[in-house]
Chain A
Amino acid sequence: KAGVTQTPRYLIKTRGQQVTLSCSPISGHRSVSWYQQTPGQGLQFLFEYFSETQRNKGNFPGRFSGRQFSNSRSEMNVSTLELGDSALYLCASSLGGANEKLFFGSGTQLSVL
């Protein structure tokens, strides 16, 4: 069974640009969540989707948005990039229950110059 796939693996952008990251969950998983990881703040929750509906959202500005498609694949978008958005963005999938095990992808390393 294929794991969680995130593309691209690495990305370099400049301030003010926007970026879209993609996540393909494990087959059969209907929940996808996104996390930001930085050396200073650690792992921070961005948002979680289940069956195309956002069930929970973290404390990030509106520049961070996401969506989920009918096939459970998810994308997150960051507009008007800032230097502080440089981070490893991790996607995780699960079956969708309250305490289901999360399976993480390898992440997208975003560098904002």
Chain B
Amino acid sequence: TQLLEQSPQFLSIQEGENLTVYCNSSSVFSSLQWYRQEPGEGPVLLVTVVTGGEVKKLKRLTFQFGDARKDSSLHITAAQPGDTGLYLCARSNDYKLSFGAGTTVTVRA
């Protein structure tokens, strides 16, 4: 059972375009994490959002946590081929992470 719903499942865009991926749940979370996983590698933590309404920026990546702390989004500006990968949201609870199914992003040169 996926407590975190991610959309879209797949996204293919041209270099230079913008994209947004979403992570939603019916439950309230104390915090939410975003990871990126490249083929053949483990996930790498990008950011943790904690406060409702919080916005964090990491270079061309902007992360938002919904006011009600039930949803989050990741926006990439001017995507580059190096942004290609599987983007995962996850919540932490009792020393374990529960992941969404992920969004596979492909940025074409």
Contact = CB atoms under 8 A, between A and B. Distances in A.
Interface stretch (B14-22, B62-70, B87-95): B87-95
A112 to B, nearest CB: 20
A43 B96 contact: no
A92 B42 contact: yes
Contacts of B97: 33, 35, 43, 45, 102
Interface stretch (A48-56, A62-70, A79-87): A48-56
Contacts of A35: 97
B43 A58 contact: no
B12 interface: no
A31 B92 CA distance: 14
A42 B99 CA distance: 8
A99 B101 contact: no
Main secondary structure of the interface of A (DSSP, over half): strand
Nearest to A107: B42
Interface string A94-107: 00001101101111
Contacts of B45: 101-102
A33 B95 contact: yes
B28 interface: no
Contacts of B90: 43
A50 B44 contact: no
A64 to B, nearest CB: 14
A76 interface: no
Interface of A: 4, 31, 33, 35, 42-43, 45, 48, 50, 55-56, 58, 90, 92, 98-99, 101-102, 104-107
27 contacts: A4-B42, A31-B95, A33-B95, A33-B97, A42-B2, A42-B99, A42-B100, A42-B102, A43-B43, A43-B88, A43-B90, A43-B97, A43-B99, A43-B102, A48-B96, A55-B94, A55-B95, A56-B95, A56-B96, A99-B92, A101-B45, A101-B48, A102-B45, A102-B97, A104-B41, A105-B42, A107-B42
Interface of B: 2, 31, 40-45, 48, 88, 90, 92, 94-102
